[in-house]
C-alpha cells in the first residue's frame, strides 16, 4: 500500500515556469531602486550551489550582484550538478547527493583556508540540500545557509518526481521507494543560521516540501517561479537582508 505523501505543485504553476522566469529576469533589470535599499556587504565569502542539472552559469547573475554589493562571491567549481550514470532508485540519488556534498565540502574548505573567514552558502533547489548538510557537518567553516526553493521534505511532493522516474526508466515501484534516508539529514540539529526562502507559486517544489520543520529555521515566502529564484529581484532583496544579519 502506498504511503501518503505531499501533493506536487499546482499544474498551472508548473506549466508557466519558463514564462514567469523570463519575466522575473526582466524585472531584475529594472529593480535597482528596490535593491539600493539593502545594506552593503562586509566582504565575507559567499559560495553558490546550483540545483540539479545546473552549473555555475545558472547562478552567475546572482554572484555578479553579490560582488557589486560588497561580497566575495564564489562559484562551486564542480561543473554540472548531474550524475554521469543512470539513477534507477532513490538510493542511487542519495548516493549521488552524498558524493556531491563531499566534493562541495572540499571546495568550501579551500575558500575558508584562503580567506580565513567563514563562508555563507546559498543553495538553489537541490543545491540547498548540499548547503544545509555542509552547514551541519562543518559549522567551523560556515557562517550561514540560505536555501532557494529547496525540496527539504518528501521528494514525491515535487513536480520533478515523476519526470525523473521516467527519464531514468526507474523500475522500482513508487511504494518501494524509501524516502527515510533522503530526508533524515533535514531533521538534525541546526548548527548554523538557516534561512529557507520558498515560493507558494513554485511550479517544481510544493510549499509543504520546501519547509524545513525546525524551530530555529527562518522561513521567508516570496512570489517566484522555481526557475527564477536566481533571477528574481525580490529574492535578491531577501538574500541581501539575510547576509547582512549574521
Q: Which of 72-86, 138-152, 175-189, 221-235 has the lowest average pLDDT?
A: 175-189
Using CA atoms, how far apart are residues 243 and 221, in angstroms rounded to an integer?
16
Please check whether residue 37 lies inside any domain of the structure.
yes
Reading the block at residue 175, the C-alpha cell is: 511504494
Total count of domains within the chain: 1
Using CA atoms, how far apart are residues 46 and 26, in angstroms rounded to an integer?
25
Instruction: Tell me which residue range forms the domain holding 58.
Output: 11-245
Please check whether residue 6 lies inside any domain of the structure.
no
Please check whether residue 91 lies inside any domain of the structure.
yes
Region 144-156 average pLDDT? 91
Specify burial of residue 173 (Cβ count, 10 A radius: 0-12, 13-18, 19+): exposed
Find residue 47's DSSP bridge partners. Answer: 74, 121
Q: Does the pLDDT value for residue 115 go beyond 90?
A: yes
Please check whether residue 174 lies inside any domain of the structure.
yes
Q: Which of 118-127, 144-153, 175-184 has the lowest average pLDDT?
A: 175-184
Share of the chain above pLDDT 70, in %: 85
Q: Does the pLDDT value for residue 227 go beyond 70?
A: yes
Please check whether residue 230 lies inside any domain of the structure.
yes
Please check whether residue 186 lies inside any domain of the structure.
yes
pLDDT at 117: 97
Beta strands in 172-229 (DSSP E): 194-198, 217-221
pLDDT at 32: 78
| pLDDT, tens only, 191-221 | 899 999 999 999 999 998 899 878 789 999 9
Please check whether residue 39 lies inside any domain of the structure.
yes
Using CA atoms, how far apart are residues 204 and 207, in angstroms rounded to an integer?
10
Contact 242, 146 (CB under 8 A): yes
Q: What is the CATH classification number for the domain harbouring 80?
A: 3.40.50.1820
Please check whether residue 3 lies inside any domain of the structure.
no
Amino acid at each position: 500500500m502506498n504511503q501518503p505523501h505531499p501533493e506536487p505543485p499546482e499544474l498551472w504553476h508548473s506549466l508557466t515556469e519558463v514564462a514567469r522566469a523570463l519575466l522575473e529576469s526582466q524585472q531584475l533589470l529594472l529593480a535597482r531602486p528596490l535593491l539600493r535599499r539593502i545594506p552593503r556587504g562586509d566582504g565575507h565569502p559567499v559560495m553558490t550551489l546550483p540545483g540539479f542539472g545546473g552549473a555555475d552559469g545558472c547562478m552567475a547573475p546572482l554572484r555578479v550582484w553579490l560582488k557589486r554589493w560588497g561580497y566575495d562571491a564564489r562559484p562551486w567549481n564542480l561543473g554540472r550538478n548531474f550524475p554521469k550514470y543512470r539513477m534507477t532508485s532513490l538510493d542511487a540519488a542519495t548516493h549521488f547527493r552524498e558524493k556531491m556534498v563531499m566534493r562541495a565540502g572540499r571546495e568550501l574548505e579551500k575558500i575558508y583556508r584562503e580567506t580565513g573567514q567563514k563562508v555563507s552558502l546559498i543553495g538553489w533547489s537541490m543545491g540547498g540540500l548540499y548547503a544545509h548538510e555542509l552547514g551541519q557537518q562543518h559549522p567551523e567553516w560556515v557562517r550561514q545557509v540560505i536555501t532557494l526553493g529547496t525540496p527539504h521534505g518528501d521528494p514525491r511532493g515535487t513536480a520533478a518526481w515523476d519526470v525523473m522516474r521516467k527519464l531514468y526508466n526507474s523500475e522500482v515501484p513508487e511504494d518501494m521507494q524509501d524516502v527515510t534516508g533522503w530526508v533524515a539529514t533535514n531533521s538534525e540539529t541546526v548548527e548554523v543560521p538557516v534561512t529557507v526562502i520558498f515560493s507558494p507559486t513554485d511550479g517544481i517544489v510544493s510549499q509543504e516540501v520546501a519547509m524545513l520543520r525546525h524551530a530555529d529555521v527562518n522561513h521567508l515566502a516570496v512570489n517566484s517561479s522555481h526557475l527564477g529564484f536566481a533571477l528574481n529581484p525580490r529574492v535578491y532583496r531577501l538574500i541581501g537582508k539575510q547576509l547582512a544579519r549574521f
